[in-house]
Structure 1
Amino acid sequence: MKNLVPSMENYTRCSDTNDPRDSFKLPKGKGGVSILWPNSWTNNVKKLKDGNERVIAILITTSQDICIINAYMPTCNTDSQYEYRECLDIIFDIIQKYQETHKIILCGDLNGTLLDSRNNKHDKILKSFVSEMGLSTGVNKDERHSFFHHAWSSSSQIDYILVNDKNLISKYNIDEKSSINLSAHTSVSVKTTIEIPANTKPANKNKKAKFKLQWDEMDKRQYNNLIQQDSISVIAENNVNTQMDMLKGPKWKASPEVQILLRSCRDLYKQWQEVGKQKDHPMATMLRNEKRKLRSKIRMEQAVSRQNLYQQIMDNPNSQLFYRLINRNRSNQQTSTNCLKIDEAYNFVPEEQRKSFAKYYEDLSVPKENIYENGYLNLCKIRQQLYEQAMDKEAEDPEQFTETEVMKAIGKLNTKKSADESGITAEHLQNSKSTVSPVLTSIFNNIILKRTVPVSFKFGILTPVLKKTKRSNYYEQLPGYNSYTYYWKNF
């Protein structure tokens, strides 16, 4: 495509890329999908990995961000409705991800018509989909046909440009069949109300993201100022669990859209708090609705990130992506596994899976005297009794920690180690000793005074260590399911 149109950049996939080829008799190619844009737009365009060989999509950054989806739908034949629905499901997922932030344009050979003159199985499915997604041609529908059979035995309108916002299109045109057009299709074009400014600055293809924090080059003053902003509210809180939640902060890099929703939720909560946290107050309803928007936006961004990783694994499988998949699956932000193998039986019900995990860890927590050597067990019991006696004596006036002790403990932390489940490393604390010490001192003193251990202290990261000869002990692909359906074989 680049050779044919050198002045344009393109994003192209062929519909028969993954079909097997027989060198004895090569079949005719089925074509594919391609989106082209001027070279000057390149910095404003992002190619999406969503889709398949028949569906591609790009994002264009402009005054109104646009998501363009190009589709070459399967032709109508025996049992083709299953593949047709599969392609529509992919288009549905893309629209769901980006409809809140982008204007949607769906175009291509949809191999189904929106005209009332025909109503085969593809037509019914397409009409239902377009109605459900709120898509249209934007202006009065053109009744002219866009497809003409080579033998002139039939014609129909199956090529479309559809949008989710009618104001996006100012003109819609289907060209007449021309004698110099050797294709069975005529061209369909629209004029949009959006102008895309040219960006002539070349993209820096060699630029790589830095994932390793450069602690030696950081601005410690700015870093401590950012922490200081929330320190006072943390110290003022008496509940240790609330303190820990306030201290941890977000575990991911929030997008600008999510940050706006977070600030809105925080402001609404303060206003609701000022009126006494009344459950039936209108402010409570507004807060719930805003939280619902926030959760929806986060889930959407996580879904995009997850699909991008899956597509990378499918396109270029390697050990690095494999371990990245394991790291994502062990995160509490991700969804649970689809299946557990318990007592040689497959269990797909989430509620039953939770009960199985609870039963397993409950059994682990129950003391079992027969698994310990008697001398060691008696020593543990004596230590426990002495600890309880010491705590009873200090209950009235317990000895508390000082900021100096906390700072000294921070200084002894080992550096260059893995982060915890909140993404905090020893370097984070050591580069902000004077700022975080009052907060940590308050938390640890509250633990002593309240005799309550924060829930977050009881969490940790479990890392399965894969062995070359026993790799199947940790995951296994379930027959009949896709490559991402894993289940724990051993707890």
Structure 2
Amino acid sequence: MADQVAQPTEASNTTLQIVSFNCKSIKSCSATVRDLIRQNDFVLIQEHWLFEGQLNLIGEIDANVNYAAKVEDHYEEFKDTIDQLNEIVLKYQDTHYIIIGGDLNEDFDRINKRKDYLEKFVKETGIKYDNEGKTFVKVNGEECSELDYFLHKLGKIKPTHKQVLNSVMNNTSDHHPIKMKILYGISNDADCKNLTKDCTNRAVKWDKVDIDLYVAITNEQSDSILNMPLETLEQATSVLEQVHGFLNDAAATCAANKPRYNAKPKLNVWSPDIKLALDEMRKYYAQWVKQGKIKDPENNIYQQRLRTKKEFRRQVRIENAKVKDTEKQRIMETRTKDTKLFHQLVKSNRKNRGNAIMDLHVGDICMSGEQNVMEGFKQHFRNLSNSRGIYSLRE
């Protein structure tokens, strides 16, 4: 022990072993899970298939178990889970090392909207991952896709590549466990200082700071500091602490807030008019927020914000109406040209509630509304009953 204390600059690194395993019922894979827990530091278990009242059974495998998770496989729930992970990464990426492991229910080699959303999250957060082999096995024993991953953001720490444990003899799941190793530890005092410096001292983006407000706050606080005595060490220390405190408060007040990742549904339509209306709405919204979100009907900025918001929604409604009209016209045209496509369009249109076609074409006249449609039917059958119309049809 004396030698270790006398030589603080020697490297003191430790290997951390992490395993992720989709067990597909922990009752049938308890032996595999027990072996993985004994041989590794962390084991991430998915799909234990236990009811809430049975979760205590996991504790019978090993005492050091933390079980709290619930995941959905639908697209909307999948997006919501990715958004929550994004919030976690954005919140802790500057102060923590992040590792996300498990069955993501998606293969990065596929092409679909789930994979695109997951890939967008990876690119925006700068998270890294490895493709090392198939992890999912079909019922016929064929390895078909890679669904299990480790997503990590470890800074200067370099983990080993993901290892697929495809030779576990007592594994009854259709997923192979995956494993990664991390060599962690601070080797000497210099590395500790550099690590602290990297995590705390960051360049200030002054173009995104309200400089006038910052100057006003610091000037107001500095006037009271100038009159404080500095005769003893304790007084000087107290002054420095107060200066440090109000500088931090001023920076937090004036700094631009990091944009929150918000996965609201995107617009289904787009046009140059919508873009102009959106830009104008955002401009006045920013001015309204800068004024303190004053909801005064006589305030000009507040009025402009309401006006631009109303105009933006109007442009979206107009574009949606154009799309619906185009869809209606396409259905009417395909009725005689392509019956298969016609039925497909009608079926897809029925799925959109409230989007039923309420127009009736009689000759060259388009009739809308309940009364006009009824009159159109009368006119149509009146024409059919006309003897001249029947004769011309036979001709």
Q: Into which bin does the TM-score normalised by the smaller protein fall?
A: 0.3 to 0.5
With the length of structure 2 as denominator, give the TM-score of the two structures: 0.35
Higher RCO (C-alpha 8 Å, min separation 6): 2
With the length of structure 1 as denominator, give the TM-score of the two structures: 0.29
Larger Rg: 2
